[in-house]
Amino acid sequence: MKRQVVSVLLTATMAAGLLAGCGSSSTTTSQSASTGSSSGTSASTSTAASSSSTAAASTSTSATSGTSEAVASTSGSTASVGDVSGTYALVPKSAGNPFNEKEASGFQDALKALGCKDDQIIVSYPDSATADAQITVIQSLISQGVSSIAVAANDASALDAALKQASDAGIKVCTLDSDVDADYRSVFCNQAGVQEIGQALMDAVYDISGGSGEYAILSATSQATNQNAWIDAMKKIAESDDKYADLKLDEIAYGDDEAQKSTDQTQALLTKYPNLKVICSPTTVGIAAAAKVLQDQKSSVKLTGLGLPSEMKEYIGDDDSHSCPYMFLWNPIDLGALGAYASVALVNGTITGKVGDTFSAGDLNDGNPYKVTANSDGASEVILGQPFKFDPSNIDEWAAVY
């Protein structure tokens, strides 16, 4: 860990020296959808873990330098970007979601390390976790004349018109965490491959249930593109392999990434399905809410899914007193950073988002360049890494990270 911290600090120092500041100094702008007033990401100190099994540490306050390096050219070799002028905006799914806030801190930190000033970095939260609220934010950013917009979509298609308007205005568009139609963005920064996530979650349900019985899924919103893709992958895996023949999916419930609604949905699942054995929640808000319900009620139903270690620490354990034997996630700070590096590369023209493009992203990917690949539909994406397993052996360590 000490070696990684030193590596990050050295990289940040090098980037600061190579890439001079690209604008006047100001405070970082973080806007709400309706008012445009400053809301800010919550200050935090986070040592970021790589989504592979090794950690890539980064210290994050609201906007301090973290992992960094120059973005690569699209030729076969990796070359640094000499200019990071422009204004870079991030539109998360919602405010008050710890995953989204860590994502935002990674986005800010990476841009700072590349030499951007505070007034070139905008984190603009929608008023609610809806496509309509994000459209309002996107339209505001268009009117501000930003250089790029990175968005974690709350709907797969509802943002199309707004994003086309942004592209027509010369704004570079990429997505992260949750994608839109490929015609309306240049590239998708994917936290992990859909198939890999689906397989990890389905195997966890199989393992925790003992290979048979009833399970349910507690998702975010019914329109969330990433959630739906992972759930579809889980269902296809279960249907295509006799190994899972004795497992029965009772219901897919939706907590809309709201803590209270996710709590209510968990309680409803317990009431409706007395033989339920496992709940799988592929959303950080949902899994935290479900974990509390199950543990408070001393339920025999067990839990797995995707969660933040700091929020799930007290629920992770392989005994009857803990509700979640293990779970998975990637690093939201790293995901936000990847979105920032991709945004800079798009604005500077060093990548276009086509399959085969390459660019570096500081210490991410162990310092190796990322390559734009094609997803199952042929659309371009960059995959951050594999899902990482958190269990009793490592949860204390990672809970101190994020």
How would you write the pLDDT of the chain (402 residues) with one tens digit per residue?
333 333 333 333 333 333 333 433 333 344 443 333 333 333 333 333 333 333 333 333 333 222 222 222 222 223 334 467 899 999 999 998 889 999 999 999 999 999 999 999 999 999 999 999 999 999 999 999 999 999 999 999 999 999 999 999 999 999 999 999 999 999 999 999 999 999 999 999 999 999 999 999 999 999 998 999 999 999 999 999 999 999 999 999 999 999 999 999 999 999 999 999 999 999 999 999 999 999 999 999 999 999 999 999 999 999 999 999 999 999 899 999 999 999 999 999 989 999 999 998 988 999 999 999 999 889 999 999 989 999 999 999 999 888
Residue 79 makes CB contacts below 8 A (sequence gap 6+) with 70, 72, 73, 350
Q: Which helix (H) or strand (E) holds 166?
A: helix 160-168
Beta strand 172-176 with 148-151: parallel, antiparallel or unpaired? parallel
Whether pTM exceeds 0.85 = no
- Structure tokens given for 142: 């268009």
Tell me the CB-side half-sphere exposure of residue 380, using CA atoms within 13 A.
20
- In the numeric block, the tokens 């905008």 are attached to 122
For residues 62, 66, 69 and 72, what is the CA-based torsion angle, rounded to 10 degrees?
-50
Q: Which helix (H) or strand (E) holds 124?
A: strand 121-125
Q: Which residues of 81-107 are buried (b: 16+ CB within 10 A; e: fewer)?
A: beebebbbbbbbbbbebbbbbbbbbbb
For residues 131, 153, 218 and 377, what is the CA-based torsion angle, rounded to 10 degrees?
120
User: Is residue 179 a contact partner of residue 190, using CB atoms and an 8 Å limit?
Assistant: yes
Tell me the CB-side half-sphere exposure of residue 258, using CA atoms within 13 A.
13
Domains 2-192+331-399 and 194-329 fall in the same CATH topology: yes
CATH architecture of 2-192+331-399: 3-Layer(aba) Sandwich (3.40)
**For residue 8, what is the DSSP state?**
H
Question: What local confidence, expressed as pLDDT, does residue 68 receive?
Answer: 28
CA 86 to CA 150: how far, in whole Å?
14
Question: What local confidence, expressed as pLDDT, does residue 350 receive?
Answer: 87
User: Is residue 302 a contact partner of residue 294, using CB atoms and an 8 Å limit?
Assistant: yes
CA 155 to CA 157: how far, in whole Å?
6
Q: Which residues pair with 305 in a beta bridge?
A: 281
Tell me the CB-side half-sphere exposure of residue 63, using CA atoms within 13 A.
22
24 alpha carbon, distance to own chain's centre: 30
CATH architecture of 194-329: 3-Layer(aba) Sandwich (3.40)
Question: What local confidence, expressed as pLDDT, does residue 84 receive?
Answer: 79
Segments making up each domain of the chain, as ranges: 2-192+331-399, 194-329
Tell me the CB-side half-sphere exposure of residue 249, using CA atoms within 13 A.
18
User: Is residue 45 a contact partner of residue 61, using CB atoms and an 8 Å limit?
Assistant: yes
Angle at 95 between CA 90 and CA 98, to 5 degrees: 95
Residue from 232, 31, 16 nearest 141 by CA: 31
User: Is residue 309 a contact partner of residue 329, using CB atoms and an 8 Å limit?
Assistant: yes
